[in-house]
Amino acid sequence: MDDIVKAALRKWPNVPHCYGWLALDARGDWYMRDERIQAAGPFPRVKGSRIAHEKLLEFIHRNYTHDDAGAWFFQNGPQRVYVELEAAPWIWRSTTRPAAPFSWAAAQKAWPSNRSPERAK
């Protein structure tokens, strides 16, 4: 993360998070989604404005990470901008411990309540 972004976070620690304004498609293209685009339909059916500015893309890439719950965001100064992803891999297990038997019911319970596994495909 850029030093200037870390400094902004220290100076303004309570800026509300932003949702719906930034998206990443399956080809790796970034899109801005203003209120008009958001109202026109969900991503990726209505993508928005493709970001082509090289320096802005570099800034996004340097400050793009995930939170403890695995949700991806771009830290834009003091504001966390969550990213809508068109595609993401499913990781069933990532551990060195012996695998427990898979339980579809447990997987559905662990899935965030606002998303369903079928919708993520």
Q: Domain for residue 71, yes or no?
A: yes
- Here the CATH number for the domain that contains residue 57 is 3.10.540
- Residue 24's closest CA among 54, 56, 50? 50
State residue 92's pLDDT score: 63
State residue 81's pLDDT score: 96
Question: Per-residue confidence at 99, pLDDT binned at 50, 70, 90?
Answer: low
HSE-CB of 80 using CA atoms within 13 angstroms:
13
pTM (whole model) above 0.75: no
Domain count, the chain: 1
Q: Domain for residue 104, yes or no?
A: no
Give 40-81 pLDDT, tens digit per residue.
999 999 999 999 999 999 999 999 999 988 899 999 999 999
61 contacts 51 by C-beta, under 8 angstroms: no
Q: Domain for residue 37, yes or no?
A: yes
Q: Domain for residue 54, yes or no?
A: yes
Question: Per-residue confidence at 10, pLDDT binned at 50, 70, 90?
Answer: very high
